[in-house]
Structure 1
Amino acid sequence: MESLARQSKALCPFLHKTSTSTLKRLSSQATIASVARGCPIMGHAMEIQESKAPHSRSYSTVREVEISKEFIEIPVNKKTAGSATATATATSANKTPAFDDKQAPFNYEKLYESDLQRKHQDKSYRYFNNINRLAKKFPHAHRATESEEVAVWCSNDYLGMGSHPVVTEAMHSTIDKYGAGAGGTRNIAGHNLHALKLEASLADLHRKEAALVFTSCFVANDATLALLGKKFPNCVYFSDEMNHASMIEGIRHSGAEKVIWKHNDLADLEAKLAKYPKSQPKIIAFESVYSMSGNISPIEAICDLADKYGALTFLDEVHAVGMYGPRGAGVAEHLDFEYHDSNCNPENLVSTNTDGSARRDVMSRVDMITGTLGKAFGCMGGYVAGSKNFIDWIRSYAPGFIFTTSLPPAVMAGANAAIDYQKSSLKERILQQAHTAYVKRELGERGIPVVPNPSHIVPVLVGNAEKAKEASDMLLEKYGIYVQAINYPTVPIGHERLRITPTPGHNKELSDHLIKALDETFDTLGLDRIKDWEKKGGRCGVAQPGYDHIKPIWTPKQLKP
């Protein structure tokens, strides 16, 4: 694409006046892309680029607005329509049409209406239920009125820390003393003790030199990845095709080159890494637990490839922090469970490679780790952890941190209390795993299709957006069970599901009620069970060969209190 653009500069006024880097940025915008496709030169270049590009996962990003002739007309001189120069001049971003008072203004509302109508038509429109979680009745909530209580089965407050006394008491005492808000950005309002304590606790959790707190992990991922790609010369991102939208947006905002590799496919990743010089800056971006499938990435093997090809590793542990490892640091810690167990002395443990050389634990090999305070830790916010210089660099240069109001003191105090508690308690993690195993086993025995995975997530495959919503509605209205339907663009069309997340509070009584309700709902709506998917060749690992051997990442030994 770049070489073709350079060759075309002499022929096209638009290209001649626009730098290659600017063109790369503009090419990601829907409007300029639609204009460029009408240009004989740029249109041809884009076709070549798309034919060479690896398969991209369009459903993982926010859908770009489609600009149609109904909303925008591009004037073209019919006499010179075949001329590259005339077409490029007509569509040039450097020329602004003269103001014409007789022209009608752009129909903004019509665009909103058209896009929303499209959402309704393809059944991907999202309906929000009125769910009010009850702190003293976790995992229950009430709907619009307090008399309408339901059991919540899809919350990401995985361990119930959002209503744990250690968290709520820390927040109450802090808000009484320091008030509600932070007063502004940390640059303006100050660097308070709550932020210092929280970041020190997070750095210790991941055994890193430092950490930096953001308002959410979406912001942390976006700000960090955008800055890395802008600052590293000729940086290339290697992004797992199932990565979260926050990582995709951060990489896009960086303007750097992106190479998408097949989900958890090490051979594909290595083949793509090998195409670039070792000296060229490279970042492998991936997650530990993928939230919609429950898949877990091969972190150690990815670190091996990063070392071999001179890449940095960027690991999103959002759905793993609090849930895995002896101290709740995530999957990277869990892979060396005994080594990190607070009851063991790491100095007495022998850790070696097969060749007898010293082996570094997996967590220490990951360069950058991001996580959230809004899921297993029960509060809100996000963070990134890494080396001291890296964190100071992000703090000094990332607009997403510099220009964002800080988290309130009470929120940071509550998150810090949750982290400190989970560092020394395995009780909630063990109970959550036990409840997850029970639900997966019982659903499987009834032929209800659960996407196989080794994690704490229970994705029940439906495979149809309309039916998934019907199932969600029936569970809520008839059985008092809240499980939100997951559809496009969070998952691909045809992969729609009910995403169930058991917690320590979902005891056997609640689990049996859920299992019975799902069984009856599948019968009532005629939803496909495992045997039906088998006849169709399977989907998402359900009724497909090679998936029946997947075992939980928690071993029986680790689950013993």
Structure 2
Amino acid sequence: MAMSLGQAGRVLVKPLRVVLQPPALLFNRSYTAIAEARAVLNGELESIRTAGTWKSERIISSKQGPHINVDGSRILNFCANNYLGLSSHPEVVQAGIDALKSYGAGLSSVRFICGTQDLHKNLEKKLAEFHEREDCILYASCFDANAGLFEVLLGPEDAVLSDELNHASIIDGIRLCRAKRLRYKHLDLRDLESKLKESQSSRMRLVVTDGVFSMDGDVAPLVGICDLAEQYGAMVFIDECHATGFLGPRGRGTDELLGVMERVDIVNSTLGKALGGAAGGYTVGPKPLIDLLRQRSRPYLFSNSLPPPVVGCATRAVELLLASSDIAHTMSAKTMRFRNKMTEAGFTISGSAHPICPVMLGDARLASLIADDMLKLGVYVIGFSFPVVPKGKARIRVQISVAHTDDDIDHCVDAFVQTARKHGVVS
């Protein structure tokens, strides 16, 4: 707005000329843009439906567990990450209630301002103890933990070597950092070694892998990875979301299972699966790294702290596992019961000896149809297809829980056989 000072000291304001468009013209322009956007979006949605990869959400009206209520029916649940059945464990639930009463619903703040409570520090201490690492930092999710690590740790003079089938959160986290990025073939130690040789001029190198790959249930060859990392002077990172709490003699994870706990430098994992099933993720590792993450990790600095009830539930879950390994020990027998019975029936089950049991079907539409028919038989499973898994490798991912009984597992197998025969998958 232009102004000039008049002789009498008054402020004279020159009128601002505004050319207003007729309301109808503005509306038409806006309507045209919205209509065009809708056409594009609807086209994308229709292509998903046509490909048979549409992902519907079934509404659950009960707590998570081996049996849940869906559409008014009580059915068996075989697609949750509730590996140890702790999401509805009475002591875990009560710990969440107690934390809610004592600490409130949430902090309304990020950690470094006024969002850290003693219960956050207590959980971090117990997680570090559980994984036998120096320190721990909590995040809102393991997706955030993966998004917040690599950018802080690695710079342009460094290199990150990542398994080609690593979780999407790892891929996205690596994209945020400025390090040289090299992908090695899935579980291929020869290719990893060639990438280590290729990156020898880098200041720091980090080998990055899922401990257990969530879509296939296969386990990373950590002994060979650690051998190569030590030979070529690299560090090792594992994502343990589908291993923490139940793999290994004490349920510490893939690194304990394979005897390399002291050789893996950094572990990211989740509170949202075996450890209570609510939400939250974390990084455990060397204290200088954890201290640096508290100073610079963006998802940590700019996200509200975990709600007290979530922290309370997770803390009790970790305490139960620190006190006894009995819960984790029952997982193996239940897993092998399902895998063996399904293999005998003629199904192809990916992975080995892990409660993630992908029933390989190939066709996306077929996986979706079988999952829908299984629901009619009282078994809740979900078909996975592109882009969650590669094209042509659709499957139904069954997940075994300690909370499943042998009868539950047998009922699931029988439903698979009945439905697969209907669609000509098995004889």
Q: TM-score when scaled to structure 2?
A: 0.89
Instruction: Confirm or deny: 8 A CA contact 1:132 1:141 kept in the other structure.
Output: yes
Q: Which runs of no fewer than 5 residues in structure 1 stay unpaired?
A: 1-100, 337-361, 530-561
C-alpha distance in 2, partners of 1:487/1:178? Answer: 42
Instruction: Confirm or deny: 8 A CA contact 2:156 2:180 kept in the other structure.
Output: no
Equivalent residue for 1:140?
Answer: 67
Equivalent residue for 2:290?
Answer: 391
Equivalent residue for 1:160?
Answer: 85
In the alignment, structure 1 residue 150 sits paired with structure 2 residue 75: yes
SS of residue in 1 equivalent to 2:183: strand
Shift of 1:473: 0.3
Equivalent residue for 2:342?
Answer: 443
Shift of 1:278: 4.8
Aligned ranges 1:496-515 → 2 under 5 Å: 496-515=394-413
SS of residue in 1 equivalent to 2:171: helix
Aligned ranges 1:278-297 → 2 under 5 Å: 278-297=201-220
SS of residue in 2 equivalent to 1:491: coil
Aligned ranges 1:266-305 → 2 under 5 Å: 266-305=189-228
In the alignment, structure 1 residue 226 sits paired with structure 2 residue 151: yes
Aligned ranges 1:10-409 → 2 under 5 Å: 105=33, 107-134=36-63, 138-145=65-72, 148-229=73-154, 232-336=155-259, 362-378=260-276, 379-409=278-308
Equivalent residue for 2:25?
Answer: none
Shift of 1:281: 2.2
C-alpha distance in 1, partners of 2:181/2:380? Answer: 38
Q: Which moved more, 1:395-404 or 1:504-513?
A: 504-513
C-alpha distance in 1, partners of 2:202/2:78? Answer: 48
Deviations 1:347-402 (A, max 9, x none): xxxxxxxxxxxxxxx11221110000000112310000111110010110011110
C-alpha distance in 2, partners of 1:239/1:335? Answer: 20
Q: Which moved more, 1:185-194 or 1:375-384?
A: 185-194
Equivalent residue for 2:381?
Answer: 483
Q: Which runs of no fewer than 5 residues in structure 2 stay unpaired?
A: 1-27
Equivalent residue for 2:421?
Answer: 523
In the alignment, structure 1 residue 473 sits paired with structure 2 residue 384: no
**Alpha carbons of structure 1 residues 417 and 453: separation in structure 2 relative to 1, 3 Å:** same
Deviations 1:401-458 (A, max 9, x none): 1000011111111101101111222222222221111111111111122124232221
C-alpha distance in 1, partners of 2:109/2:426? Answer: 52
C-alpha distance in 2, partners of 1:296/1:221? Answer: 19
Q: Which amino acid aligns with 2:63?
A: L
C-alpha distance in 2, partners of 1:395/1:462? Answer: 44
Q: Which moved more, 1:169-178 or 1:385-394?
A: 169-178
SS of residue in 2 equivalent to 1:132: coil
Shift of 1:528: 5.2
C-alpha distance in 2, partners of 1:427/1:409? Answer: 27
Equivalent residue for 1:417?
Answer: 316
Q: Which amino acid aligns with 2:121?
A: L
Shift of 1:113: 1.6
The size of the alignment, in residue pairs, is 397
C-alpha distance in 2, partners of 1:452/1:312? Answer: 26
Measured on the aligned residues, the alpha-carbon RMSD in Å equals 1.8
Equivalent residue for 2:391?
Answer: 493
Instruction: Confirm or deny: 8 A CA contact 1:133 1:139 kept in the other structure.
Output: no
C-alpha distance in 2, partners of 1:522/1:195? Answer: 47
Equivalent residue for 1:557?
Answer: none
Shift of 1:277: 2.4
Instruction: Confirm or deny: 8 A CA contact 1:328 1:423 kept in the other structure.
Output: no
Q: Which amino acid aligns with 1:406?
A: S
C-alpha distance in 1, partners of 2:33/2:76? Answer: 49
Deviations 1:467-488 (A, max 9, x none): 10100000002x1100011111
Instruction: Confirm or deny: 8 A CA contact 2:115 2:304 kept in the other structure.
Output: no
Instruction: Confirm or deny: 8 A CA contact 1:157 1:376 kept in the other structure.
Output: yes
Deviations 1:248-291 (A, max 9, x none): 00111214321110111101100111012255322111011111
Shift of 1:217: 0.2
Deviations 1:300-325 (A, max 9, x none): 22112112222221110110000112
Shift of 1:133: 3.9
C-alpha distance in 2, partners of 1:158/1:427? Answer: 13
C-alpha distance in 2, partners of 1:168/1:102? Answer: 53
Shift of 1:225: 1.8
C-alpha distance in 2, partners of 1:303/1:465? Answer: 37
Instruction: Confirm or deny: 8 A CA contact 2:159 2:204 kept in the other structure.
Output: yes
Deviations 1:500-535 (A, max 9, x none): 111122112111211111111110011257xxxxxx
Shift of 1:102: 8.6
C-alpha distance in 1, partners of 2:402/2:297? Answer: 38
**Alpha carbons of structure 1 residues 258 and 528: separation in structure 2 relative to 1, 3 Å:** farther
Q: Which amino acid aligns with 1:364?
A: E
C-alpha distance in 2, partners of 1:133/1:239? Answer: 39
SS of residue in 2 equivalent to 1:404: coil
Q: Which moved more, 1:148-157 or 1:448-457?
A: 448-457
C-alpha distance in 2, partners of 1:367/1:307? Answer: 11
Identity %: 35
C-alpha distance in 2, partners of 1:396/1:488? Answer: 38
Q: Which amino acid aligns with 1:200?
A: K
